[in-house]
C-alpha cells in the first residue's frame, strides 16, 4: 500500500523498482536530510514495512523453535532481531522483533513478508499462536539523531534505556530503541489511522521530515545489511554480521543451525560484507546485484548503493575472503562500471573492533 504521507507537500516517491516503493524517498534535499539525521533529529516514514503479529500462549516457544533467536529470553518490553534460515543455513527472512504485552510483533520487508507469513502459518500445527498481518492496523516511523530524546519528550514519550527495549506510546503503540543506523534511533509503532498525525506531531517537536534515501545512506555507512539488497540466495549469517545480532549461538534445534555452528567453529565464512567507496567522477552508477571484479575475475556481488552526504557514492558488497583489503576493484556492469576500493574500517580489525565502529566514531566526532 502507498503511504498517505506521499501527499505531504515536498514528498517525492521512490522510483519503480525501489525496495522503498510506497513511502517518501525524500523531501527535496536528501543530503541536508541526512545531515540533520546525523546532527539533530529526523523522522522517516517506514510504513512500507510489513508488521506481523504473533499473539498466543505458545508464542515464545514456537518462535524459539523456528528462528535463529533465543525467544525464551525475550521478556515483555524487549525486542531484537531474528532470522529464518533454510536447511543449508542460508538466510530466507530477517525480522525486527518487539515483545509488547501478550503479542510479539515482527516487522520485515514487504517483498518477502507474504512468504514469511505463509511459512509461519504452515508451521502452527497444534501450537497456540495466531500469526497475522496487521499492517493495516499499525505503521512504522523512525526518529533518529542526537535530539531524538528531546523530540520524544515533547510528544509525551520516552526513549528506552537499552537497545531493543520498549516503552509505551500515549494513545497506543510503542517505542523501540534501535542501535543503528546512528547513535540515537527509535522506531515507533503507531496506529495506522494516526500515521499522518504522529508524523506531524514529531515534525512539530523538531524532527525534520526525511525520506528513506537519507536513512539508507546512514544504514550503509553503519554496515548494516538489508535483506534482498545485501543478501543473495547463498548468504549465510556470518557473511553479513548477523551473528550475535540476529543469531544466538547458545541455542540449537532450528532449521539451518548445523551450518551456523560449523562455520562458527571454523571461523571463516566464504565471503564477507564490506563497505566500498565508488568512483564518483563518472556519470554511471552501479546497481544492486552487479558484480565486483578484480583483474577481470568476479570476486563478489554489489548490494546497496547510496549517495552519502559526506562520503559520496558508497555501497555494501559481499566479497570473497581472499580479496585483499587494498585491492583495486571494479564494480558494476556494462556502461555502469566504476572503480571501487574497500574501506579498511569495514573489515574486522586485529584489535577485535567490530565492523561499523568507524561510522560511530565519525558520528561522535
Q: What is the pTM of this model?
A: 0.94
| 54-112 per-position pLDDT tens digit | 999 999 999 999 999 999 989 999 999 999 999 999 999 999 999 999 999 999 999 99
User: Looking at residue 352, what is its pLDDT?
Assistant: 46
Residue ranges of the chain assigned to CATH 2.40.30.110: 270-344
What are 278's three cell numbers? 565508488
Confidence of residue 332 (pLDDT cuts 50, 70, 90): very high
Statement: residue 19 has pLDDT above 90: yes
Residue ranges of the chain assigned to CATH 3.30.1360.120: 4-49+135-222
Contact at 8 Å (CB) between 253 and 259?
no
User: Looking at residue 359, what is its pLDDT?
Assistant: 54
Statement: residue 351 has pLDDT above 50: no
Tell me the average pLDDT of the chain. 94
- Can the peptide bond before residue 181 be classed as cis, meaning omega within 30 degrees of 0? yes
The correct CATH number of 270-344 out of 3.40.50.300, 2.40.30.110, 3.40.190.180, 3.30.70.20 is 2.40.30.110
Statement: residue 349 has pLDDT above 80: no
Contact at 8 Å (CB) between 205 and 42?
no
| 150-175 per-position pLDDT tens digit | 999 999 999 999 999 999 999 899 99
Statement: residue 364 has pLDDT above 50: no
| 279-293 per-position pLDDT tens digit | 988 788 899 999 999
The answer for residues whose C-beta is within 8 angstroms of residue 315's C-beta and 6 or more apart is 220, 275, 276, 278, 286, 302, 303, 304, 305, 306, 331, 340
What are 39's three cell numbers? 546532527
Q: Report how far residue 308's alpha carbon sits from residue 316's, in angstroms, rounded to the nearest whole number.
A: 12
Any idea which fold 4-49+135-222 has? Gyrase A; domain 2 (3.30.1360)
For the sheet with 138-144, list strands across it: 166-168, 174-178, 185-191, 138-144, 42-45, 208-210
Amino acid at each position: 500500500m502507498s503511504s498517505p504521507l506521499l501527499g505531504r507537500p515536498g514528498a517525492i516517491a521512490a522510483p519503480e523498482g525501489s525496495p522503498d516503493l510506497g513511502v517518501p524517498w525524500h523531501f527535496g534535499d536528501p543530503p541536508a536530510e541526512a545531515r540533520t539525521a546525523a546532527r539533530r533529529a529526523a523522522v522517516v516514514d517506514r510504513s512500507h514495512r510489513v508488521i506481523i503479529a504473533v499473539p498466543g500462549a505458545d508464542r515464545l516457544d514456537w518462535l524459539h523453535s523456528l528462528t535463529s533467536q533465543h525467544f525464551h529470553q525475550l521478556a515483555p518490553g524487549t525486542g531484537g532481531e531474528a532470522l529464518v534460515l533454510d536447511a543449508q543455513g542460508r538466510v530466507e527472512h530477517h525480522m525486527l522483533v518487539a515483545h509488547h504485552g501478550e503479542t510479539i510483533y515482527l516487522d520485515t520487508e514487504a517483498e518477502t513478508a507474504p512468504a514469511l507469513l505463509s511459512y509461519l502459518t504452515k508451521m502452527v500445527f497444534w501450537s497456540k499462536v495466531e500469526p497475522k498481518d496487521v499492517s493495516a492496523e499499525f505503521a512504522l516511523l523512525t526518529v533518529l539523531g542526537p535530539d531524538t530524546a528531546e523530540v520524544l519528550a515533547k510528544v509525551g514519550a520516552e526513549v528506552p534505556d537499552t537497545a531493543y527495549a520498549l516503552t509505551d506510546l500515549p494513545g497506543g503503540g510503542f517505542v523501540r530503541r534501535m542501535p543503528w543506523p546512528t547513535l540515537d534511533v527509535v522506531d515507533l509503532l503507531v496506529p495506522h489511522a494516526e500515521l499522518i498525525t504522529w508524523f506531524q506531531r514529531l515534525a512539530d517537536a523538531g524532527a525534520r521530515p526525511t525520506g528513506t534515501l537519507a536513512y539508507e545512506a546512514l544504514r550503509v555507512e553503519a554496515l548494516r545489511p538489508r535483506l534482498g539488497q545485501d543478501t543473495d540466495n547463498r548468504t549465510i549469517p556470518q557473511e553479513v554480521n548477523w551473528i550475535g545480532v540476529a543469531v544466538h549461538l547458545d541455542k540449537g534445534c532450528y532449521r539451518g543451525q548445523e551450518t551456523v555452528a560449523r562455520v562458527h567453529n571454523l571461523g571463516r565464512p566464504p565471503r564477507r560484507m564490506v563497505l566500498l567507496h565508488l568512483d564518483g567522477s563518472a556519470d554511471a552508477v552501479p546497481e544492486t546485484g552487479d558484480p565486483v571484479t578484480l583483474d577481470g575475475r568476479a570476486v563478489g556481488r554489489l548490494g546497496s548503493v547510496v549517495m552519502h552526504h559526506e562520503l559520496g557514492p558508497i555501497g555494501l558488497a559481499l566479497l570473497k575472503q581472499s580479496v585483499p583489503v587494498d585491492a583495486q576493484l571494479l564494480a558494476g556492469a556494462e556502461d555502469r562500471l566504476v572503480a571501487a576500493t574497500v574501506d579498511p574500517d569495514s573489515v574486522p580489525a586485529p584489535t577485535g573492533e567490530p565492523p561499523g565502529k568507524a561510522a560511530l566514531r565519525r558520528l561522535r566526532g
